Amino acid sequence: MSVLIVGFGNPLAGDDAVGWRAAELLASSLEAPGVRVMPCRQLTPELAAEVAEATLVIFVDAGVEIPPGKIACRRVKAVGGSTPFSHHFSPERLLALVEQLYGRRPEAVLFSVGARSFAGSHLSSEVEQALPVLLGEVRELVARITQVGKPDHQSARPAEPEDFFSVMH
């Protein structure tokens, strides 16, 4: 079982920093075998090699499609397609790149936190308040997933991809 947590966003662009901040906090507090945390500013092609080594990838990002401070979580699937830009990928495009280059299809989820503002170097009050909740949800997911993956778990079988989502709420 190998879990990769990728929190991404610009630490100097208001609420866009939430993914970065979450990853930094998780990196210093989450000690679980087989779990790796990467804060980064953007998703770039180099991440494909890291993602290809994971069984499950947890992306954390700011979102504009949900109300400020609200947290959403959804499963992410590889979606190909041409884009002229290599400096920034969506999680879907990154997963497609992983499949193309390495023939791997790790399971993936995206935690999004609704953003209020992308200006300044501080999180908005809504996102600041949501941050501990977000961290708790990510930690809980990791704990459940790593339990499922253990051989002495009640199912006594290796984790299947669908198990990841059966433990999510």
Binding site for other proteins (CB under 8 A): 39-41, 45-46, 48-50, 82-87, 97, 100-102
Q: Between 48 and 130, name the residue whose CB sits nearer to other proteins.
A: 48
**Residue 76 near residue 126, CB atoms below 8 Å:** no
Question: How many CA atoms within 13 Å lie on the side-chain side of 24?
Answer: 12
- The pairing of strands 3-8 and 56-63 is parallel
User: What minimum distance in Å lies between the beta carbon of 151 and other proteins?
Assistant: 28
Q: Between 85 and 151, name the residue whose CB sits nearer to other proteins.
A: 85
User: What minimum distance in Å lies between the beta carbon of 64 and other proteins?
Assistant: 21
Per DSSP, the three-state class of 114 is strand
User: What minimum distance in Å lies between the beta carbon of 52 and other proteins?
Assistant: 10
User: What minimum distance in Å lies between the beta carbon of 157 and other proteins?
Assistant: 33
Q: Between 52 and 148, name the residue whose CB sits nearer to other proteins.
A: 52
Residue owning tokens 């210093």: 28
User: What minimum distance in Å lies between the beta carbon of 30 and other proteins?
Assistant: 17
Q: Between 50 and 128, name the residue whose CB sits nearer to other proteins.
A: 50
| Angle between helical axes of 125-148 and 18-29 (0-180°, round to 10) | 50
Q: Between 89 and 111, name the residue whose CB sits nearer to other proteins.
A: 89
What sign does the dihedral 157-161-165-166 (CA atoms) show?
A: negative
CA angle, residues 54, 11, 4, in degrees to nearest 5: 10
**Residue 146 near residue 42, CB atoms below 8 Å:** no
